[in-house]
């Protein structure tokens, strides 16, 4: 399997950007090995690795739960966050230019994190999510402060139709004065999906305009589903 942690150049970033521009998401195939997926999923019960646990039903987020990692992040999670950020920052900067947003993102992730921490956003946001039968995640956006990196990545850690059924990753796109468009993203164990945190540019007949994006997970029909979420900005 291609090793994104050490060799991010193995990913076809031109194809990923084309998919993001066309459909609002891009799938990265076979990024994590089965053992990496299993090790991450097995880490979920160990509260020592995490700073906070969220039970979705208590907050109206859906059903299921997730935990935010604490610093220092596990080596694999930290490496993914750093190696994926650099090519995504190039895309994010092009998107902001197209949408008329003045913010630009530095080349290195540590420099962006320094920007977050200077504004009081110093709590890590990478997370593990756990869903059981009947659980789901309502459509939402992951915004944790003033400084927001506009792209994020989610990795599926379990095998569909073997470890669980249902639980499809879902995106909605609301264009101005139009009905919402829905994108259902099929993933296999070890795949990642890149998608917008809140908005993306669309090239229309009069130039680029912004569309609002939300994401969620459909109901788990059976089994248990685990996901690793890589969010590049920290939280207050």
Residue 131 structure tokens: 């869903």
> Over pLDDT 70: what percentage of the chain?
96
Six-digit token pair at 231? 């969010």
In the 8-state DSSP scheme, what is residue 36?
A: H
Q: For 60, left (φ over 0), alpha (ψ -120 to 50), or beta?
A: left
* Residue 190 pLDDT greater than 70, yes or no: yes
Residues 42-83: tens digit of each pLDDT: 999 999 999 999 999 999 999 999 999 999 999 999 999 999
Query: What pLDDT sits at residue 43?
Result: 95
Under the phi-then-psi rule, with left for phi > 0, alpha for psi from -120 to 50, and beta for the rest, what region is 94?
Answer: alpha
Distance CA 68, CA 132 (A): 18
Radius of gyration of the chain, Cα coordinates, nearest whole angstrom: 17
Whose tokens are 């913010």? That residue is 103
pLDDT at 189 over 90: yes
First-to-last C-alpha distance (Å) of the chain: 36
Tens digit of each residue's pLDDT (9 = 90 or more) over 79-109? 999 999 999 999 999 999 999 999 999 999 9
Inter-residue contact 211 to 105 (CB < 8 Å): no
How far is Cα of residue 45 from the mean position of the Cα atoms in its chain? 21
Work out the average pLDDT over 135-158. Answer: 96
* Strand ranges inside the chain, DSSP E: 26-28, 50-55, 62-63, 65-69, 127-131, 136-140, 151-156, 164-166, 169-174, 181-185, 192-196, 199-204, 207-217, 220-223, 225-231
Any residues with CB less than 8 A from the CB of 133 and at least 6 apart, and which? Answer: 220, 221, 222, 223, 224
> 6, exposed or middle or buried, with CB in 10 Å at 0-12, 13-18, 19+?
exposed
The SS3 call for residue 101 is: coil
pTM of the model: 0.94
Mean pLDDT of 156-183: 94
């Amino acid at each position: 399997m291609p090793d994104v942690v050490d060799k991010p150049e193995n990913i076809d970033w031109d194809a990923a950007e084309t998919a993001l521009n066309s459909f609002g998401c891009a799938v990265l195939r076979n990024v994590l090995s089965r053992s990496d997926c299993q090790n991450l999923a097995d880490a979920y019960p160990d509260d020592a690795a995490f700073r906070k646990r969220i039970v979705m039903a208590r907050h109206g987020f859906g059903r299921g739960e997730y935990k935010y990692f604490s610093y220092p992040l596990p080596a694999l999670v930290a490496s993914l966050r750093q190696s994926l950020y650099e090519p995504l920052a190039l895309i994010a900067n092009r998107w902001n230019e197209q949408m008329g947003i003045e913010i630009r993102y530095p080349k290195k992730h540590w420099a962006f994190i320094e920007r977050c921490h200077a504004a009081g956003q110093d709590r890590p946001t990478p997370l593990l999510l756990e869903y059981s039968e009947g659980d789901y995640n309502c459509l939402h956006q992951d915004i944790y402060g003033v400084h927001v990196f506009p792209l994020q990545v989610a990795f599926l850690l379990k095998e569909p139709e073997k470890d669980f059924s249902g639980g499809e990753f879902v995106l909605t796109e609301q264009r101005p004065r139009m009905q919402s468009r829905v994108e259902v993203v099929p993933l296999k164990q070890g795949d990642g999906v890149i998608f917008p945190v809140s908005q993306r540019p669309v090239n229309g007949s009069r130039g680029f305009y912004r569309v609002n994006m939300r994401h969620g997970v459909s109901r788990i029909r059976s089994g248990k589903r685990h996901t690793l979420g890589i969010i590049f900005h920290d939280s207050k």
